[in-house]
Amino acid sequence: MTAPVESYQIYAVTAGILFSMGLAGLFLCGHFFKKIIATKILGTAVFLLFISLAKRDFVEFADPVPHAMVITGIVVAVSAGAFALALARRIWNETGRSTFEDSQ
């Protein structure tokens, strides 16, 4: 049974689509919360690509190194997300703003 497309390639392409979605969200959405979610989508895209590359066509078994990197990356992404949320909440409490536009 030889599939015309390896399953890891489907994941890799999905990662590319997610990455574009995250990038678009980061630039086009106004609300702080939507922008922060967009960075999470960006992160998910990158991690998905790492994981899918672990099962490239020329390796016999799943390559463990990308998994180690994704674990580290998730830790970093969680703390960055928490920090961004804390900042956004503090801005909301102090000024009532939720976008960059009405700051000027």
Partner 1 sequence: MNGELTTLFPALTVITPITGAVVVFLLPARLRARAGLPAAGFTVAAAILLAWGVVTEGAVRHELGGWGAPLGIDLHADGLSSVFVLMTAAIGLLVSFYAKPFFALAGEKGGASELFWPLWLFLWASLNGLFLSSDLFNLYVTIEVMGLAAVALAVLSGRPPALVAGLRYLLAALGGSMAYLMGVALVYGEVSTLDLGLVSEAVEGSPAIRVAFGLMIAGLLVKTAVFPLHFWLPAAHSSAQAPVSAILSALVVKASFYLILRLWVDVFDVAVTVAAGQALGVLGSAAVIWGSYQALRQRRLKLMVAHSTVGQIGYMFLLFPLITIGYREAADAPWLAHAWTGGIYQALAHGFAKASMFLAVGVFVLAVGNDDRRSIGDLVARLPMTTFALALAGISLIGLPPSGGFVAKWMLLKATFSSGQWWWAPVILTGSFLTAGYVFMVLRQAFAPAGKPIELNPVPRTMEVTALLLGATAILIGLRAEEVLILLDVGAPFDEAVEAGEGGEP
Q: Which residues bind partner 1 (CB under 8 A)?
A: 12, 19, 22-23, 26, 32, 35-36, 39, 42-43, 45-46, 49-50, 53, 56, 63, 65-66, 69, 72-73, 76, 79-80, 83-84, 87-88, 90-91, 94-95, 97, 100, 103
**Minimum CB distance to partner 1 smaller for 7 or for 72:** 72
User: Closest approach of Cβ 1 to partner 1, in Å?
Assistant: 25
CB 96 within 8 A of CB 102: no
Please report the DSSP string for 90-104 in residue order.
Answer: HHHHHH---BSGGG-
**Minimum CB distance to partner 1 smaller for 14 or for 26:** 26
CB 10 within 8 A of CB 53: no
User: Closest approach of Cβ 60 to partner 1, in Å?
Assistant: 13
**Minimum CB distance to partner 1 smaller for 14 or for 39:** 39
3-state percent helix, strand, coil for the chain, nearest multiple of 5: 75, 0, 20
User: How far is the C-alpha of 9 from the C-alpha of 40, rounded, in Å?
Assistant: 22
